[in-house]
Amino acid sequence: GQNIDQPTEMTATEGAIVQINCTYQTSGFNGLFWYQQHAGEAPTFLSYNVLDGLEEKGRFSSFLSRSKGYSYLLLKELQMKDSASYLCAVVFVGGGATNKLIFGTGTLLAVQP
Amino acid sequence: DAGVTQSPTHLIKTRGQQVTLRCSPKSGHDTVSWYQQALGQGPQFIFQYYEEEERQRGNFPDRFSGHQFPNYSSELNVNALLLGDSALYLCASSTLRTSGRNTGELFFGEGSRLTVL
């Protein structure tokens, strides 16, 4: 299987730090993406990890541990506009010329004043 | 540089009807993936097209079919519509890496919202 698990909902306070976890089955793993999706809009790219470690990009950071099948997205200095769904998506090696990207159910983050 | 474009943006159908959704990939992209996103859920992978062939398929019935044209644009067809097919259908494009494996970032269109009554 290619199960991807992440919390359904989280709540945090403006200015704080929040960590959104994602676990996945490691067989066939070939990279992990985080996407942000505001209500009624298309997902937009946040980060990509293929090697172990932390990738930092401004207020957002993403971490990957391939051996543990684990990733997290860290959001610092939260702003109200960060209220959105955060999607963990894993690239699984395909049988043909291409791989496929499988999404988790998403974590709905609510940032409160 | 146009991004991924999808049409129509909204449509309403009745049970048993057929629908065709269209997608033009981002300039320079050759691979198109289709996803179904129900309200409050993550996108579910339907299938992926590259070189005018279906390369990968998710767990969707044969009622869902597609096509890719020589200009890389793509169509998603759904036959015998069910109420449960009501969802946002997302098209995402990417490009095959020189390594021969598609691990590139997906660029999403705004989606086609289908309502089945």
Which residues of chain B register pLDDT less than 50? 98-102
> A with B: how many residue pairs have Cβ under 8 Å apart?
71
Degrees to nearest 5, angle at CA A35 with A20 and B49: 135
**Euclidean distance between CA atoms A77 and A34, whole angstroms:** 18
- pLDDT score at B78: 98
- pLDDT score at A98: 67
Distance from CA of A41 to the nearest CA of B (A): 6
- pLDDT score at B99: 41
The residue among B107 and A13 whose pLDDT is bigger is A13
Q: Is the pLDDT of residue A31 over 60?
A: yes
Distances (CA, A) of B51 to A13, B22, B98: 47, 17, 15
- Residue B105 has its nearest CB partner, among A42, A45, A95, at A45
Nearest to B5, CA basis, from A102, A89, A42: A42
